[in-house]
Amino acid sequence: MIDKMMNTRLFHWVDERTDLGAIIKSQLTEYPVPKNLNYMWNFGSLALLVLVLQILTGIFLVMYYKPSAELTYGGYTVAFDSVERIMRDINFGWLIRYMHAVGASAFFVVVYMHIGRGLYYGSYKSPRELLWIIGVVILLIMQGAAFFGYLLPWGQMSFWGATVITNLFGALPVLGEYLQQVLRGGFAVGDPTLNRFFSLHYLFPLLLAAIVGGHIHALHVVHSNNPDGIDIDHEKDTIPFHPYYTVKDAMGVGFFLLGYCYFVFFQPEAWGYFIEVDNFVPANNLQTPAHIAPVWYLTPWYTILRTFEDKLMGVVAMGASLGILFVLPFLDRSKVRSARYRPVYRQMVILFFISVVVLGYCGHSAPTETLAMVGTIATSVYFGFFLLLPFVHKFEKTKPLPGGE
Amino acid sequence: MSGKADHSRRNFLYVAAGGLGAVAAGATAIPFIGSMLPAADTLAAAKTEFDISTVVEGQLVVIQWQGKPVFVVNRTAEMLERVKGHDDKLKDPNSEAVEGVQAEWMDTDEKRLYRAIKPEILIVVASCTHLGCIPLFKPTAGQKDWGDSVPSDWVGGWHCPCHGSFYDLSARVMNGSPAPQNLHVMKYEYKTDTIVVIG
Amino acid sequence: MRGITMKTTRFSLIACLMLMLAPAMASASGGVAVKHTDITFDNETLRAGLQVFTDVCMGCHSAKYITYRNLMAYPEIGISREEADELRGDKALMSGLITELSPEDGAESYGKVPPDLSLIARARRGGANYTYSILTGYVEDPDGKVEDGNYNTYYPGGRIAMPDPLAWMGHDAEETADLEEQARSVASFLAFIGDPHQLERKRIGRWVMGFLVLLTLVLWMLKREVWKDVKKH
């Protein structure tokens, strides 16, 4: 079908001036991909889809959203009123808003699965270290974008979440106070904060679009890893991306949309996980909600932060938990990539996944002594995974790789 | 071996998938484009009520309707006389040109002449039909009050400052004006003797 | 097989955690599980709820995101222009349902400003059932410290600033059904105005899900068909 398109005169005209044919061949129809990829490899294309959805819905929301904390009747604000206007008066505004809110959570679900694939199958190892590092940058920018975006409705959670997190920056030595003021635009979270978070929330996804381009480019140079983690024979073991992975990715999109649309149309608040109950209460700077927690996708790091009593230690630990991701490729010295053939690593990485889920659970719940202890254990497992890694290759007996390598 | 049968199934599936995909894309476009149409509260502001007893004889007021300016003029008997007898100077004396310049109730000569349900009260959109500026009200005849800006045989009406279009006191556009049409008459009706509902 | 084990482990863990969290989500914060009633959006219930709202609640509360025009325009409520004119008095048709009680007076009389009720069903854990429970939950303070009409079983901490609006306390058995119906209908009304497009949303959703099932099926068949080439080798 693409060949028929490429034989038309119109295509030739464009191709002569842009080399589009060569691009289509090198990136799609002749781009080699291992033929044994499993469904864990679908999440990259899904992540791209969700990014596009978020930008699209975001642009239409911005046509009506007003980033002002000016007070209106009933303790509300212009910003909160504009969101309610979108929900009630704008044609299909409710749909676009729900797509955006559900999409934010969907983005993290998909990206966490994508990262999990990378961890399990050793996709971060040579020659894909930089690909992984660019990915970590993407994760950080996503978290930033989500954080900025959450302030915009100016509900109780929006306001207090922003207050807590900007307070964290105050903990840093020397620069802390200054950073906090630069972020807030004042002494407390207020209208200046809202305006600049709005600007940054618009900017970050566009930055993402560019960086994702770099991520895909880096991938196309070294090509995809595969579930066995072995270097493969180009001739025998690869198939062209189009049509095989285009149709497989399309099918993945179908399944994804089933889940996504179920939430958008039937459970957009997801029992308080996607849109929190307290955020339907207008922000009140004189009253903190009984229970502050960040949105679910930021909860693991929130737990790590709370593990340490000392504020600065907490911030440092939280930063380290993200920072250590950057050096992962250099911590792991094993020559074998995939956890399928690494019995010790496999257990470690599964434990790591469990620790992240547990950290998330702790971060979402009200702090109790038991939960604090559980959180501390989970934090230790989290960091333990990375700290143990440089030594694993010394004693791990890897299984024989397929193809007699 | 892939025989012809396999490829026909494959092609059918490609076409089916492509077709359904196109439907999905189209269906997705609907809410997005739809969201750009005027919102429910904007449409609800589509009607404006106005009390014409607040307009003194000979006075022009400008009110807002759907964000647009609207002239409400209380024409004196003398002004009503001055809309007669210069049909040859008008581009469209009977408001036949386009839908916007006519109204359902303009079915008699008198209605077409005065272009109003109540002859004294003229209600028109205050937007010059050339490029949208608000014309200036120059109700008295001759050049005494208006100088050179109006022709010497000026019968009274409006003069648009932007590109020089002229309208008579029934807001009908005069020959030689860049504006193509009479000032538009929007849907309105009298709820009571003094309250008019515009829109 | 090995991949499936890892995935299964992860998914089953997530499932377990969600199940653990479910009961916590169902109850009101503060521990007492809410009473459940039948929240419905039929026209009769919504009109009855609107009546309770305008007669009782609007004495102190506003619902600024609902306008008189909305009450006419939403097909689920659909009051007539005459009914709307009667309700609004000399307020504009486009204005929200605003109480005559000023925030300052409210704070003075009750200790806190009576909150706007447009979103109350979404802003409280337990939703409309919580609202119903509050309205029918006034009891005598077991410790005897709080005045009658200001102690509520379902309000976290028990001491509620809103005095018994439906006069639930001290009602006799004959009135129970009637008061419960008032509470049910106003809770339904509040649930509706919190998210007025919810019925339309679910209606469209059913079509979307049906279409997506079809689309995914076709895409799955296409994938299998195209991948036959690969399996052959």
**Amino acid (1-letter code) at residue C213:** V
B32 Cβ under 8 Å from any chain A Cβ = yes
Parallel, antiparallel or unpaired: strands B68-74 and B60-65: antiparallel
Q: State the best of B13, B15, B41, B66 to mutate against chain C, taking most chain C CBs within 10 Å.
A: B13
Contact list in A for residue B35 (CB cut-off 8 A) is 60, 63-64, 90-93, 96
pLDDT tens, residue by residue, C129-156: 999 999 999 998 888 888 878 999 999 9
pLDDT tens, residue by residue, A103-133: 999 999 999 999 999 999 999 999 999 999 9
pLDDT tens, residue by residue, A220-275: 999 999 999 999 887 889 999 999 999 999 999 999 999 999 999 999 999 999 99
Higher pLDDT, A403 or A15: A15
With contact defined as 3+ CB pairs under 8 Å, the chains touching C are A, B
Task: List the domain boundaries for chain B.
Answer: 4-37, 44-198
Contact list in B for residue C219 (CB cut-off 8 A) is 17
Residue A405: both structure tokens together: 């390598």
The residues, any chain, with a CB within 8 Å of residue B149's CB and separated by 6 or more, are: B138, B159
Q: In what order do the strands lie in the sheet with B60-65?
A: B60-65, B68-74, B121-125
**Amino acid (1-letter code) at residue C87:** L
Give the residue-averaged pLDDT of A144-157: 97
Q: Do C10 and A116 touch (CB under 8 A)?
A: yes
Q: Do A85 and B32 touch (CB under 8 A)?
A: no
Query: HSE-up of A209 (CA within 13 Å, CB side)?
Result: 11
Could you give the residue numbers annotated as active site of B? 163
Residue C82: both structure tokens together: 């005459």
C69 Cβ under 8 Å from any chain B Cβ = yes
Q: Do B13 and C218 touch (CB under 8 A)?
A: yes
Alpha-carbon gap, residue A260 to A268, rounded angstroms: 9
Contact list in A for residue B36 (CB cut-off 8 A) is 60, 63
* Beta carbons of A228 and A341 less than 8 angstroms apart: yes
Kindly report which listed range (A176-180, A391-395, A400-404, B163-167) carries the lowest average pLDDT score: A400-404
Query: What was the pLDDT predicted at A236?
Result: 85
C221 Cβ under 8 Å from any chain B Cβ = yes
Query: What was the pLDDT predicted at A404?
Result: 54
Cα dist from A132 to A321, A350, A355, B69, whole Å:
16, 19, 21, 60
Query: φ, ψ for residue B45 (rounded to 5)?
Result: -80, 15
Q: Do B9 and C225 touch (CB under 8 A)?
A: yes
Q: Return mean pLDDT, chain A.
A: 94
Q: A-C interface: how many C-beta pairs under 8 angstroms? A: 121
Alpha-carbon gap, residue A40 to B142, rounded angstroms: 85
Query: HSE-up of A24 (CA within 13 Å, CB side)?
Result: 15
Give chain C's domains with CATH numbers. 30-194 (1.10.760.10)
Q: Do B17 and C225 touch (CB under 8 A)?
A: no
Dihedral, A86, A89, A92, A94 alpha carbons, nearest 10: 50
Q: State the best of C85, C209, C222, C232 to mutate against chain B, taking most chain B CBs within 10 Å.
A: C222
Band of residue B181 on the pLDDT scale cut at 50, 70, 90: very high
A85 Cβ under 8 Å from any chain B Cβ = yes
Contact list in C for residue A253 (CB cut-off 8 A) is 219
Band of residue B42 on the pLDDT scale cut at 50, 70, 90: confident
Q: Note which residues in 86-105 of chain C have CB less than 8 A from chain B.
A: 93-94
Measured between CA atoms, the residue of chain B closest to residue A261 is: B28
Alpha-carbon gap, residue A281 to A278, rounded angstroms: 5
Band of residue C24 on the pLDDT scale cut at 50, 70, 90: very low
Give the residue-averaged pLDDT of A179-185: 93
Is A405 a residue whose pLDDT tops 70? no
Kindly report which listed range (B61-65, B161-165, C11-15) carries the lowest average pLDDT score: C11-15
Q: Pick B45's closest partner by Cβ from C73, C94, C221.
A: C94
Q: Do C123 and A280 touch (CB under 8 A)?
A: yes
Query: What was the pLDDT predicted at A192?
Result: 96
Is B199 a residue whose pLDDT tops 70? yes
Contact list in B for residue A247 (CB cut-off 8 A) is 17
Contact list in A for residue C213 (CB cut-off 8 A) is 258
With contact defined as 3+ CB pairs under 8 Å, the chains touching A are B, C
Q: Do A74 and C201 touch (CB under 8 A)?
A: no
Contact list in C for residue B41 (CB cut-off 8 A) is 67, 94
Is C22 a residue whose pLDDT tops 60? no
Q: Pick C196's closest partner by Cβ from A40, A88, A257.
A: A88
Give me the sign of the Cα torsion angle A166, A169, A171, A175: negative
Q: Do B17 and C73 touch (CB under 8 A)?
A: no
Contact list in A for residue B43 (CB cut-off 8 A) is none
Q: State the best of C68, C88, C216, C218 to mutate against chain B, taking most chain B CBs within 10 Å.
A: C218
Give chain A's domains with CATH numbers. 29-285 (1.20.810.10), 293-405 (1.10.287.980)
Is C8 a residue whose pLDDT tops 90? no
CATH number of B44-198: 2.102.10.10
**Amino acid (1-letter code) at residue B171:** A
Measured between CA atoms, the residue of chain A closest to residue C73 is: A89
Q: Do B35 and A56 touch (CB under 8 A)?
A: no
A93 Cβ under 8 Å from any chain B Cβ = yes
**Residue where the block lists tokens 């199934």:** B9
Alpha-carbon gap, residue B145 to A166, rounded angstroms: 67
The whole-angstrom distance between B132's CA and the closest CA on chain C is 29
Query: What was the pLDDT predicted at A88?
Result: 96
The whole-angstrom distance between B134's CA and the closest CA on chain A is 28
- ipTM of this predicted structure: 0.92
The residues, any chain, with a CB within 8 Å of residue B3's CB and separated by 6 or more, are: none
Query: What was the pLDDT predicted at C232?
Result: 66
Residue/partner pairs of B10-15 with CB below 8 Å, 24 or more apart: B10/C222, B10/C225, B10/C226, B13/C218, B13/C221, B13/C222, B13/C225, B14/A1, B14/C222
pLDDT tens, residue by residue, C162-178: 999 999 998 898 999 99
For residue A127, is the peptide bond before it cis, meaning its omega torsion is within 30 degrees of 0?
yes
Query: What was the pLDDT predicted at C12?
Result: 53
pLDDT tens, residue by residue, A60-78: 999 999 999 999 999 999 9
Measured between CA atoms, the residue of chain A closest to residue C29 is: A290
Q: Do B21 and C215 touch (CB under 8 A)?
A: yes
Q: Which of C156, C131, C154, C152 is nearest to C142 (CA)?
A: C152
Give the CA radius of gyration of chain A.
23
Instruction: Give the DSSP per-residue string, C55-109.
Output: HTGGGT--EEEEEHHHHHHSTTT---HHHHHHHHTTS-TTSEE--SS-HHHHHHH
Query: What was the pLDDT predicted at C164?
Result: 92
Q: Do C227 and A244 touch (CB under 8 A)?
A: yes
Alpha-carbon gap, residue A220 to B136, rounded angstroms: 67
Contact list in B for residue C90 (CB cut-off 8 A) is none
Alpha-carbon gap, residue A218 to A138, rounded angstroms: 13
Q: Do B13 and C225 touch (CB under 8 A)?
A: yes
Is B3 a residue whose pLDDT tops 90? no
Query: HSE-up of A46 (CA within 13 Å, CB side)?
Result: 29
Band of residue A210 on the pLDDT scale cut at 50, 70, 90: very high
Q: Pick A250's closest partner by Cβ from B17, B32, B39.
A: B17
Contact list in A for residue B42 (CB cut-off 8 A) is 89
Is B5 a residue whose pLDDT tops 70? no
Is C128 a residue whose pLDDT tops 80? yes
Query: What was the pLDDT predicted at C67?
Result: 95
Q: Do A89 and B41 touch (CB under 8 A)?
A: yes
Instruction: Give the DSSP per-residue string, A256-269.
Output: HHHHHHHHHHH-TT
Taking the CB of residue B46, how many other CB atoms lie within 10 A of it? 12
Higher pLDDT, B118 or A169: B118
Is A89 a residue whose pLDDT tops 70? yes
Q: Do A60 and B32 touch (CB under 8 A)?
A: yes
Query: φ, ψ for residue B136 (rounded to 5)?
Result: -90, 140
